[in-house]
Structure 1
Amino acid sequence: MKRSIATVCLSGGLTEKLHACAEAGFDGVEVFEPDLVVAAQSPEEVRALADRLGLTLDLYQPFRDFEGVDPATLEDNLRRAEAKFALIRRLGMDLVLVCSNVATAVVDSDEVSAAQLRRLGELGARYGVRIAFEALAWGRFVDDYRRAWRIVELADHPNVGICLDSFHILSRGHDPAQIEEIPGEKIFFVQLADAPALSMDVLQWSRHHRLFPGEGSFDLATFVAHVLRTGYDGPLSLEVFNDVFRQTDVTRTAAHALRSLVWLEDAAALRLQDRTDLLRLPEAKAPTGFDFVEIRAEDTAAVETLLEQLGFTFRGRHRSKPVRLWSAGDARVVLNQEQARDRAPHLAAIGFDVDDPAATVDRAQQLMAPRVYRRTYASELPLQGVAAPDGTEIFLCDSTAGTDAPWVAEFEGGAEPGPSPTSPISPISRVDHVNMVQPWEDFDEAVLFYTSALGLDAETGVEVAGPHGLVRSQVMRSVEGAVRLPLNVAPAASSELAQHVAFACDDVAAVARSARAAGLRFLPVPANYYDDLAARYGLPDAVIADLRELDLLYERDAAGEFVHFYTRTEGDVFFEVVERRSRYDGYGAANAPVRLAAQSLGRGK
């Protein structure tokens, strides 16, 4: 399929946008009129630049408020149109987007609208320009693609067809299945955008909150499948109005956008098994678990102390690198001092267990995730990995390797697997989740990366109150919950949010008591929290007393209970230990403000 994008999706001037689109790998662009109006280049220069870059100019947009008007207004609209058609030809283009009328002085008549579009088609034919009529979700009368198609049918002109825009169709809850009743040759253009599920005015929703495919709640794969079944063979084009994307680096956003179209074509291909011309990526099987987490720093001593206090066992030093391994149950923490000069402890990498590491890396690379490499010697196991949008290195490990991954054998001088003769058996069994802080400009790209490249599902996002504003959070997880990645973005006023690794156990109180005896400094919990807890849940006084003594936090819902505690922060990372009782499946969101407040006051260090 030909891949296109509207220039309105990107930041910068028109020439910057064209260069970024070409570098990302797009085939063509929609020229958004305001971008051309403010450009220093003439239409001929824009056309020549696109030619040099290998880009087609696919659609000029928008032409507004044309149809359903009185005769005098129609004549003025035709005058406007003729000027635009002449401009379009200077650009070497042949297609213009005409939006349904949103003005109040409009006639509610399909026949009138059709007759006026026929006049426009006749004018367009003189210039070699076709008209793609689009039903805006907030159109005065024409706000449904099915009505727009009836009007196009009535217009009955070869230069008049329809534009289908996923946002205008799906935001109104219109059934896209009837798209298949439209002949493919009368679909002149297709625009695509995803969006989060929001309850708000559709115009504001459209203008500020659209997303690239795979980042929102729309079923775009099914939408595209309906379109392609008509025989449509034109561009699939992104038209995404989003305040973030129009502020971020144009080259990176263009690459991000193309990744979404690659993912979408693959997702649509799964619904169209007979279409051998569509791109098919290696299958995305979600990770089956965490293989390891890696914390990197110039000096990891403080983190080693934390791990020892939590009951982890030192498994040895790497035979060729300044790297140390600690484990408890199936939880493995790698502490890396390589290439970490002047760096405080921070989460640098995550290893996931997957069924087919090579296929997963291949898929991620086809989705334009950069490959990452680690220096290895002949006797060492090479790890395959890619970089997430925030720079975190994601390694794919063979899930069939057994309890201890083969790379563990490269660590020497530590305890063998099993109970240590000098340390108590830790109740910690595995990594429960890894909480990752995302830069505000990377958040939506990260969601797309983890869903498209790793096959994780995106849960409904939530917002948590912090001392400096709301913290946006969205959990990426495998279906059965073996892998959970809460992604957080802090408010602009705060830079204090830290990454953290949560470890699962069957007896969090036992871990807390052992850790306290070993000298662990817990994140302190205010007394007011326990007074509120007693009022909320009616817990027995003895239970509240135990929780208070150990700085434990508590939450419950209809499915079960959640008891957990936090360590203080070392550098940019801290640990959490959690106990899930019964079928509790959350993350203690009600307790997050307590943690955020304590960390903000400096009590987390």
Structure 2
Amino acid sequence: MHTGIATVCLSGTLQEKMAACAKAGFDGIEIFEQDLVTSSMSPEEVRRRAADLGLTLDLYQPFRDFEGVDDGLLAANLRRADAKFELMGRLGIDTILACSNVATATRGDDDVLAGQLSQLARRAGGHGVKVAYEALAWGRYVNDYEHAHRLVQAVDHPNLGTCLDSFHILSRDWDTAPIEKMEASKIFFVQVADAPKLSLDVLSWSRHYRVFPGEGQFELAKFMGHLARTGYDGAVSLEIFNDVFRQSDVERTAVDAMRSLVWLQEQGAAWLAGEGETGRFPLQLDTLPRVPEPTGFNFAEIKAADTSQLETLLGQLGFSPRGSHRTKDVRLWTMGQARVVLSQSGPAAAEPAISAVGIDVENPLLASSRAQQLKAPAVPRKAQADEEVFQGFAAPDSTEIFLCQGSGDGTAGWTDEFGPAPAGRRGPGAGAVIDHVNLAQPWQHFDEAVLFYSSALALTPQPFAEVPSPTGLVRSQVMDTADRSVRLVLNLAPLVQQVDGGNKAYQEHVAFRVDNLVATARAAKKRGLRFLRIPANYYEDLAARFDLETGFLDTLRELDLLYDRDPAGEFLHFYTATVGSVFLEMVERRGSYDGYGAPNAPVRHAVQYELRRDSC
């Protein structure tokens, strides 16, 4: 599949955008008019630069508000078109995008529209240019892609065809099945975009909230499947209007964009396979190594220049020191099957922060190959000949993800590198496992993270929630496996919480699940654990919301435990104080409770905010 991207998707100058697209692996680009007008490069220089970078120049856009006008304006529009066609000759671009008229159209009769488009096609033919006519979702008279295609068929000129744009089609909930009835030769160009489902006027939705495929909620796999069935074999190009992307690092955004097209090809191929299609189409939808969902957490790693406070905290929770690694400056702490690696590295002033997560997978090599094809940067770790070799890559927030060989029984062979296992010890934490990991996401990379974890790790994004905090709303996105053995919670923090010198200001945490939280909390209290103190008002509200037995409520209050309940079961949890940017959570799930105590999250945020404020 010929991959493309519109320059409007990216930040920077035209030169920077072209270089980033080439580096990310795109085949071609669309030149957005404003990028050319504001560039210091001449059209001829743009053409040469693209050739040097190995990029094709696939489309010039947009040509707006042409058809459905009176005769005087039509003459002016044709003169404007001639100028653009001459410019395209200098650029070496043979296709222009003509959008359906949204501003100047006064004549909506199809015969008039087709007649004027016919004149445009004849002018284009004289310059060796093709016109790809696109129905904008908010077009005055033409806002339906089938209507636009009927006009193209009525004109019946070799230089006029259709541009299919997934946003304009799916934002209006148009059925994509009729695409299959189109002649492939009359589909001149295809643009794809995803978007979250929003209650918003379609123009504002389009101009500010488009995202790359896989980062929204449109049925793009079906769109691609119907497109492939037409026999189309041209470019599939991204056209994303997004305020965040146009403020972000240009190279990183280009890589995210390319990842989305790799993912989209796989999704389109999977949709066709699900429909019983076994043959190949001219539009080749490449597939990736298929990997099953992860089977569990293997470990969490916290990095700091000084890990002494964390070691104290882990000991108070009931973790046992397994020992120091024989060749690396790291220590292992365990409770049941929950493993925490403490790494002493980085700058002397570096405060504790979650640096890596180990995930159990069926085949680490295959899963690593998939991640690399999805543009995930590899982060191999040095290992001696007799040590475990982890396949790893960096997530968008810089957290390192290591793929581990799942044992099926919860054990991990690499732990032998820390010395012999201590004698078994029973206690309230004997059955402990990592329940979930909560990771903060920079505002400009949140959507990228959602696509990354869903495509590279086969995690499924759940509907996001917004949690009130004293500094604003925190957007929370759960990514998990079907059996919930792996749960990642991605939090988009308010801007004021995201930067604090060189350290993470927004707090992250690892949550451990135990069989008996009350017993775990009592034992931790005896060891001197400093719990996150919960306000008395919380327990009064809890008593009002739930009919709890008095003794149980007193226990919750005594131990600073939080509680939630739904029809499926109950949830108990408590938090530790924060060290650096890290705190720990202990949870107990009763019955089939599947949430995270969402009603309690504002309480945690408020208490942590006061502690940060008072310590400043």
Output the TM-score relative to the length of structure 1: 0.96
Contact 1:462 1:474 in 2 (8 A): yes
**Given the alignment of the two structures, is residue 334 of structure 1 paired with residue 337 of structure 2, yes or no?**
no
Deviation at 1:535, TM superposition (A): 2.0
1:396 partnered with 2:403: yes
Amino acid at match of 1:419: R
SS in structure 1 of the partner of residue 210 of structure 2: coil
The residue type equivalent to 2:150 in the other structure is R
Which is further off, 309-318 or 466-475? 309-318
Distance across 2 between alignment mates of 1:369 and 1:544: 47
1:552 to 561, 575, 580: 561
The yes-or-no answer on 1:479 pairing with 2:482 is yes
> Helix, strand or coil: the match of 1:372?
coil
Q: Helix, strand or coil for the counterpart of 2:410?
A: coil
Aligned counterparts of 2:212 and 2:200: Cα–Cα separation in 1: 19
1:319 is aligned to 326
| 1:135–1:142 Cα contact (<8 Å) kept | yes
**How many pairs does the alignment contain?**
601
Query: Matches of 1:371 and 1:225 in 2, distance apart?
Result: 32
Matched, 1:528 2:533: no
8 A contact 2:14–2:39 mirrored in 1: yes
How far did residue 413 of structure 1 move?
6.0
Spell out, residue by residue over 1:496-520, the C-alpha distance to the aligned partner (whole angstroms, 9 max, x if none).
4211001112221111111111110
Deviation at 1:340, TM superposition (A): 5.7
Provide Cα deviations, 1:144-176, integer angstroms capped at 9, x if missing partner. Answer: 111111111111111110000011111111111
Residue aligning to 1:451:
454
Q: Counterparts of 1:414 and 1:180 in 2: how far apart (Å)?
A: 62
2:208 match: 208
Aligned partners of 1:385 and 1:396 also within 8 Å: yes
Hey, what does 2:293 align to over in structure 1?
Answer: 286
Cα separation, 1, equivalents of 2:291 and 2:112: 50
| Partner in structure 2 of residue 226 of structure 1 | 226
Distance (whole Å) between structure 1 residues aligned to residue 543 and residue 407 of structure 2 = 46
Alignment of 1:289-308 (within 5 A): 289-308=296-315
| Contact residue 427 and residue 507 of structure 1 kept, 8 A | no
- Report how far residue 485 of structure 1 moved: 0.4
Describe the superposition over 1:176-223 as per-residue Cα deviations: whole angstroms up to 9, x where unpaired: 111001011110000011111111111111111111111111121221
The residue number in structure 1 matching 2:383 is: 376
Offset of residue 143 of structure 1: 1.2
Structure 1 spans left out of the alignment, 5+ residues: none
Letter in 1 for 2:257: A
Alignment check: 8 A CA contact 2:428 2:514 kept:
no
Offset at 1:47?
A: 1.0
2:279 equivalent to 1:274: yes
SS of equivalent residue, structure 2 residue 457: coil
Secondary structure class of the residue paired with 1:161: strand
Q: Which amino acid aligns with 1:370?
A: P
1:321 and 1:338 in contact (8 A); partners too: no
- SS of 1:564's partner is strand
Which of 422, 425, 437 aligns to 1:419? It is 425
Q: What is the distance in 2 between the residues matched to 1:37 and 1:174?
A: 34
- Alpha-carbon distance in 1 for matches of 2:216, 2:51: 34
> Is the contact between residue 69 and residue 104 of structure 2 (CA under 8 Å) also seen in structure 1?
no
1:602 aligns with 2:608: no
Tell me the alpha carbon deviations over residues 353-385 of structure 1, each in whole angstroms, 9 at most, x when there is no partner. 000100000000111111112121111111111
Alignment of 1:88-167 (within 5 A): 88-103=88-103, 105-167=105-167
| 1:105 shift after superposition | 4.2
CA contact (8 A) 1:345 1:571 kept: yes
| 3-state secondary structure, aligned to 1:371 | coil
Task: Please tell me the residue identity of whatever aligns with 1:412.
Answer: G
Instruction: Say which SS state the counterpart of residue 601 (structure 1) adopts.
Output: helix
- In structure 2, what is the Cα distance between the partners aligned to 1:573 and 1:319? 26
1:509 maps to what in 2?
Answer: 518
1:569 and 2:574 are equivalent in the alignment: no
Equivalent position amino acid for 1:467 in 2? P
2:394 is matched with 387
Code of the residue aligned with 1:274 in structure 2: it is: G
Deviations 1:469-519 (A, max 9, x none): 111111111111110001011111223421100111222111111111111
Aligned counterpart for 1:497 among listed residues 506, 525, 532: 506
Q: Which residue of 2 aligns with 1:537?
A: 546
Which residue matches 2:360?
353
Per the alignment, do residues 105 and 159 of structure 1 end up closer, same or farther by CA in structure 2, a change over 3 Å counting? closer
Percentage of pairs with the same residue: 58
Tell me the distance in 2 between the aligned counterparts of 1:379 and 1:571.
34
**Structure 1 residue 18: Cα displacement:** 0.7
In the other structure, the counterpart of 2:190 is 190
Distance 2:380 2:262 in 1: 24
Moved more, 232-241 or 37-46: 37-46
Kindly provide the amino acid, as one letter, of the partner of residue 508 in structure 1: L
Which residue number in structure 1 is paired with residue 501 of structure 2? none
Q: Corresponding residue for 2:275?
A: none
- Using the alignment, how far apart are the partners of 1:142 and 1:427 within structure 2? 66
| Structure 1 contact 7–35 (Cα < 8 Å) conserved | yes
Distance 1:104-1:539 versus aligned 2 partners, 3 A rule: farther
Q: CA deviation at 1:107?
A: 2.1
Over aligned residue pairs, what C-alpha RMSD do you find? 1.6
SS in 1 for 2:246: coil
Give the partner amino acid of 2:536.
A
Deviations for 1:266-299, whole angstroms, at most 9, x for unmatched residues? 2222234422843221113221100111111122
For residues 294-330 of structure 1, give each alpha carbon's deviation from its aligned partner in whole angstroms, at most 9, with x where no partner exists. 1111221211111111112222221112211111121
Q: Indicate yes or no: 2:11 matched with 1:2.
A: no
Contact preservation (8 Å) 1:490, 1:497: yes
**How far apart are residue 347 of structure 1 and its match?**
0.6
Report if the CA contact (8 A) 2:28-2:57 is conserved: yes
5+ long unaligned stretches in structure 2: 273-277, 499-504
Q: Is the 8 A contact 1:316 1:414 kept in 2?
A: no
Q: Do 2:137 and 2:202's aligned partners in 1 also have CA atoms closer than 8 Å?
A: yes
* Cα contact 2:65–2:105 (8 A) shared by 1: no
Distance 1:35 1:366 in 2: 30
Letter in 2 for 1:121: A
SS in 2 for 1:112: helix
Distance 2:314 2:105 in 1: 71
CA shift for structure 1 position 560? 2.2
In 2, Cα distance between equivalents of 1:410 and 1:425: 27
Shift, 1:539, TM fit: 3.0
Give the stretch that moved more between structures: 390-399 or 340-349.
340-349
| 2:369 alignment partner AA | D
1:62-77 to structure 2, matched below 5 A, reads 62-77=62-77
| Cα pair 1:316 1:415 within 8 Å, conserved | no
Q: Which residue among 457, 462, 466 is the counterpart of 1:463?
A: 466
1:508–1:455 distance in 2 versus 1, CA, 3 Å: same
Question: Are 2:207 and 2:242, in contact at CA under 8 Å, matched by a contact in 1?
Answer: yes
Bigger shift: 63-72 or 520-529? 63-72
How far apart, CA to CA, are the structure 2 residues paired with 1:433 and 1:291? 12
For the residues of structure 2 that align with 1:506 and 1:51, how far apart are their CA atoms?
A: 63
Q: Which amino acid aligns with 2:164?
A: L
Are the structure 2 counterparts of residues 107 and 556 from structure 1 closer, same or farther at C-alpha, using a change threshold of 3 Å?
farther
User: In the aligned structure 1, how far is the partner of 2:107 from the partner of 2:594?
Assistant: 54
Could you say which residue in structure 2 is the equivalent of 1:437? 440
